[in-house]
Amino acid sequence: MHTAILIVQCKDNKGIVAAVSQFLYENNGNILAVDQYIDEELGDFFMRAEWELETFAIEKDSILEEFKKNVGFKYEMQYSLSFNFPKPKMALFVSKLSHCLFDILSRYYSGQFNVEIPLVISNHPDLEPVVKAFGIPYYHLPVTKENKFTQEKRQLELMKEHQVDFVVLARYMQILSGDFINNFPNNIINIHHSFLPAFVGAKPYHAAYKRGVKIIGATAHYVTEELDAGPIIEQDVARVRHHNTIDELVQIGQDVEKVVLSKAIKYHLARKIQVVGNRTIIFN
């Protein structure tokens, strides 16, 4: 079923829900889901509505304009409109670890993700056979201090060439430059192997072991220029005990990482995420 998804944001005000829902009703929109959220601290109103396109009175390409004219303008709204088709194009960046990659490809294979994966990029050759087995092109672009700038340029060219909509760092162990990041604002999802903000940076399982925590976790977040500090999309945790070695923390943690990352991808694909400052609204 083809649907449209509208997310709006504006100062909280009387009549907004009425205005938006009236707009959809008058144009014969069959609403499938509608969610609101009022951020009392900011005084801001947020709404996500999804409706069937087939019966809708306004042409796909005119919806935004009509909405602006009839509703958006009056309430000084910011809004974004998207559609659940064609399938968005997702690029995967990986290094050597396979658990997140397999989890994503497995869902891709079984049709759980409404997505296309035009390419996988890696700074190592290791995972090429896995990716090839799924019929997906694999680009091996080793990164060193010296060639980082050039390789990122190449990566960006590949993104363009394959018309990539968003990027998933599935345990890609390189830090992207601000320049790369700015090409995909709120469109690069990273999985960090700790419950942020604890254990930012390298080797979080080692740090967790050393600190003697009883719970470890993983965090999927949008990438911003500050390392591991972007808006959090999803987190989960697992219990550990004193006898668990660092290697065991790694294995226990990987099961959390892969599920958390795939949930974040699912929210992103369904346009259920709205970033507000450094926080996310998850319309779920």
Question: Cα(281)–Cα(275) distance, rounded to whole angstroms?
Answer: 6
Question: Cα(221)–Cα(153) distance, rounded to whole angstroms?
Answer: 24
> What is the DSSP secondary structure assignment for residue 2, as one 8-state letter?
-
Cross-strand partners of 121? 93, 139
How does strand 44-52 pair with strand 3-11?
Answer: antiparallel
| Interacting residues with its own copies between 142 and 171 (CB under 8 A) | none
Q: Residue 280 is which amino acid?
A: T
Q: Which is nearer to its own copies, 37 or 83 (CB)?
A: 37
* 228 counts as catalytic: yes
CB of 39 to its own copies, least distance (A): 9
Distances (CA, A) of 89 to 167, 168, 262: 9, 11, 15
Tell me which of 64, 81, 130, 136 binds its own copies, using CB under 8 A. 130
Query: What x/- string results for residues 220 through 239 when contact with its own copies is judged by CB under 8 A?
Result: -----------xxxxxxx-x
Residue 36 found at the interface with its own copies (CB under 8 A): yes
CB of 4 to its own copies, least distance (A): 15
Which of 228, 236, 247, 255 is an active site residue? 228
Tell me which of 62, 114, 150, 278 binds its own copies, using CB under 8 A. 278
Tell me which of 60, 87, 153, 214 binds its own copies, using CB under 8 A. 214
Tell me which of 197, 201, 203, 226 binds its own copies, using CB under 8 A. 197
Token pair of 247, please? 């290697």
Spatial contact of 90 and 168, defined as CB atoms under 8 Å apart:
yes
Residue 74 found at the interface with its own copies (CB under 8 A): no
How wide is the angle at C-alpha 232 spanned by C-alphas 227 and 234, nearest 5°? 130
Tell me which of 1, 14, 146, 202 binds its own copies, using CB under 8 A. 14
Where is 46: in which H helix or E strand?
strand 44-52
Instruction: Label residues 191-214 b or e (16+ Cβ within 10 Å = b).
Output: bbbbbbeebeeeebbeebbeeebe
Tell me which of 217, 249, 257, 265 binds its own copies, using CB under 8 A. 217
Residue 185 found at the interface with its own copies (CB under 8 A): no
Where is 236: in which H helix or E strand?
strand 232-239
Token pair of 227, please? 């390392």
* Residues making contact with its own copies (CB under 8 A): 14-15, 17-18, 21-22, 24-25, 28-38, 40, 97-99, 102-103, 105-106, 109-110, 112, 130, 133, 195-199, 210-215, 217, 231-237, 239, 241-243, 245, 251, 255, 259, 262, 278-282
Positions marked active-site: 228
